[in-house]
Amino acid sequence: MVSSEGLNSSQPPKQYGVTKPISMLGPTDADMQRSRELEKFLSDDGLYESKEEAAKREEVLGRIGQIVKDWVKQLTRLRGYTDQMVEDANAVIFTFGSYRLGVHGPGADIDTLCVGPSYINREEDFFFVLHNMLSEMEEVTELQPVPDAHVPVMKFKFDGISIDLLYASISLLVVPDDLDISDVSVLYDVDEPTVRSLNGCRVADQILKLVPNVEHFRTTLRCLKLWAKRRGVYSNVTGFLGGVNWAILVARVCQLYPKAIPSMLVSRFFRVYTQWRWPNPVMLCPIEEDELGFSVWDPRKNPRDRTHHMPIITPAYPCMNSSYNVSTSTLRVMMEQFQHGNKICEEIELNKSQWSTLFEPHLFFESYKNYLQVDIVAADVDDLRSWKGWVESRLRQLTLMIERDTYGKLQCHPYPHEYVDNSKPCAHCAFFMGLQRKQGEIIQEGQQFDIRGTVDEFRHSINMYMFWKPGMEIYVSHVRRKQIPSYVFPDGYRRPRHPRVSSQQPSDKPSYEDGGASRVGSGERGLKRKRDPDEANVKNDMPDKRCSISPQRRDSISPEIISHKFGGTSACLAFSEGNEMCEVDKKMFCPDDVEGGCTSNSSVITSLSSDIGSCEDIGNESVAGSSKGNNGSADGSVEGSNNVVSSQSDSGDADSLCHLENVCRDGSGVFQDGLREEFEPNAAVVDGVDAEAVQKPVLRLSLTSTA
């Protein structure tokens, strides 16, 4: 039930967050019934671990705690310290992430931090001495050190439980068992990687302190994490959002609706973030500066912070943007999914839909006409694990490079899910990116998208991998929707496409870009559009024009896949849209690597039957989450509230949201928690890409066509 803390006549209710709540009203009987149904759905879906697994996790953490204590004592003795120092030598294990927040599920990994004394370092002692100790233990499997990560980590499984272990050496000779990691003193005289390692635990503790009701927060966060995974927007490394990002977003909604229960909070989550004026930051508390001098997120002082598209600020010093990986393309995809979620929640509140509808998987392979397929192979499973981790961490750079080199006119949708072709003789996995032209772009005579150099630059960045071994290869191919390999589908084959709902009409709303109102990507809700090549009887080897059931517009001309010879073995692969073209290099690789075999080098023109990305032509995608309106302005603001289903608990939500979180500054440039002037929306974009985000260096990437 909702807490009544602070509701006495002598004191006003406690305010959580940097602004006043939107609504202090509690749940109705209908809200409480919907919450019970939601919790039952989460339980039936297997989101809660058993008591036996919970006990095993506690046991594993205890054993790891003893291992690191023995490790520190051993090094203390080897370095000639006194017997008393050896006896006092200590290391402490902390947890963070989903386990610390209390929202982990069965099989989830445990994010752990080992805090050790000042004389035990990360580079040699942690990544070599402790690594060797762990490698000799039979309980430890899949041991993978990642010393060059932004937050250096050692990954392994201990007795079947996945562990991500970080290390922080603090400026103490003896680490007490009761160390208060939230105290700023732990940051004295430490380097930046150590600050980042400590920040995970400090942030998790602060989040739990800054929400009105921890249990409601946990249930809501479990729900939104499941939703994000089903809809393909849960992955920090790919440019979407990870666990801490979703936790902060949910915590902010809990602050805005302190008396709401989970069913209300889920609905309000989508209501708030479909109307959020990015790049205004989401913050749980004011950003504080400290005499320690660590850099905090501040676009007034740090030019790089102005390039962030979706700032979600951590609540512990030094406050950082936890979502710096988000790009223009991934923000667009997330806004589309927020719109989709908002529409479903409106239907649930009107008893027109069930919770199961909200969690329907996103039909990614029905959403675009063109895809990039990235195949990753290695000699064995162990090599693939490390090679795949490296390549996956660089896929975001490919998205950024394409955005940069096409001036944002070619949009990418990286899908954060790996697919495995078990028929391959070698260890294999594949990732996919959807491609589409930016909506509303006017085609200019002779304009083309040539991304051959972009992919070549990506190839060079991949070659920076320090631990490359023979057999580690990567292949990139351009595939059309009907050429998607069968192993990506759950049943091993493509299901028949659902008939379109002809009653739905495209919205007249402008397309979303850089924080504006978005079109909803919903593969489950079709609309009337041009005939699809998968359903039409079109000859693939003929360039003839197809028949259309709607008038041809200049921006919806059928693209073509064109392959020409370039000096024998190298070729150019292009998909064109009228006078627009997107080109990538093409080289051959083994026929087993792509379903249907390799493409020959002979010249061929294959007619595609739809444009690269006209939203009316994307699978069964629907346009705009609701026909009720929601007038999106160019800067991303939302005028009016006719898209929101009102309830008695939030009359006036829309007006409040229009003024919400507009982090402003007074004459001296200091951040304020009230509304005085808006953050300039366009200040967050500098040429569409972070200048330091793209690296240029030398390797073995083959590009091929499956056209």
508-539 pLDDT per residue, tens: 333 333 333 333 333 343 333 444 444 444 33
Task: Determine contact, residues 505/616, Cβ cutoff 8 Å.
Answer: no
The active-site residue out of 23, 98, 322, 367 is: 98
Instruction: Give the pLDDT of residue 437.
Output: 86
Q: Which amino acid is at 152?
A: P
Residue 604 clears pLDDT 60, i.e. is over it: no
> Is 611 a residue of the active site?
no
The active-site residue out of 69, 155, 225, 343 is: 225
The active-site residue out of 111, 205, 305, 611 is: 111
Q: What is the mean pLDDT of residues 4-28?
A: 75
Instruction: Give the pLDDT of residue 558.
Output: 28
660-669 pLDDT per residue, tens: 444 433 333 3
Residue 448 clears pLDDT 80, i.e. is over it: no
Q: 424 versus 598: which is more confidently predicted?
A: 424
Q: 588 versus 125: which is more confidently predicted?
A: 125
Percentage of the chain exceeding pLDDT 70: 67
Any idea which of 205-214, 290-299, 542-551, 575-584 has the lowest mean pLDDT? Answer: 542-551
The active-site residue out of 164, 205, 383, 650 is: 164
Residue 591 clears pLDDT 50, i.e. is over it: no
Instruction: Give the pLDDT of residue 12.
Output: 66
Residue with tokens 């998790």: 204
Look at residues 52, 44, 72 and name the one whose alpha carbon lies nearest to residue 160.
52
CA distance 597 to 605: 18
Instruction: Give the pLDDT of residue 121.
Output: 95
Task: State the CB neighbour count (10 A cutoff) for residue 498.
Answer: 14
The active-site residue out of 99, 167, 234, 475 is: 234
The active-site residue out of 109, 450, 555, 673 is: 109
CA distance 95 to 208: 14
Any idea which of 152-161, 327-336, 337-346, 556-565 has the lowest mean pLDDT? Answer: 556-565
> Is 164 a residue of the active site?
yes
Place 181 in a pLDDT band, splitting at 50, 70 and 90.
very high
Instruction: State the Cα angle at 634 between 633 and 639, rounded to 5°.
Output: 15
Q: What is the mean pLDDT of residues 24-53?
A: 94
> Is 111 a residue of the active site?
yes
Q: What is the mean pLDDT of residues 459-465?
A: 85
Residue 285 clears pLDDT 90, i.e. is over it: yes
Task: Output the average pLDDT for the chain.
Answer: 75
Instruction: State the Cα angle at 19 between 14 and 23, rounded to 5°.
Output: 70
Q: What is the mean pLDDT of residues 344-356?
A: 95
What lies within 8 Å, CB to CB, of 524 at 6+ separation is 360, 363, 498, 620
CA distance 112 to 99: 9
Residue 586 clears pLDDT 80, i.e. is over it: no
240-260 pLDDT per residue, tens: 999 999 999 999 999 999 999
Place 16 in a pLDDT band, splitting at 50, 70 and 90.
confident
Task: Determine contact, residues 457/696, Cβ cutoff 8 Å.
Answer: yes
CA distance 51 to 340: 35
How deeply is 5 buried, as exposed, middle or buried, from its count of CB atoms within 10 A (0-12, 13-18, 19+)? exposed
CA distance 46 to 229: 14
Instruction: State the Cα angle at 54 between 48 and 60, rounded to 5°.
Output: 140
Q: What is the mean pLDDT of residues 629-633?
A: 36
Instruction: Give the pLDDT of residue 647.
Output: 41
Q: What is the dihedral of CA 446, 450, 453, 454, to 10 degrees?
A: 130
Instruction: State the Cα angle at 615 between 613 and 620, rounded to 5°.
Output: 105
> Is 234 a residue of the active site?
yes
Residue 582 clears pLDDT 70, i.e. is over it: no
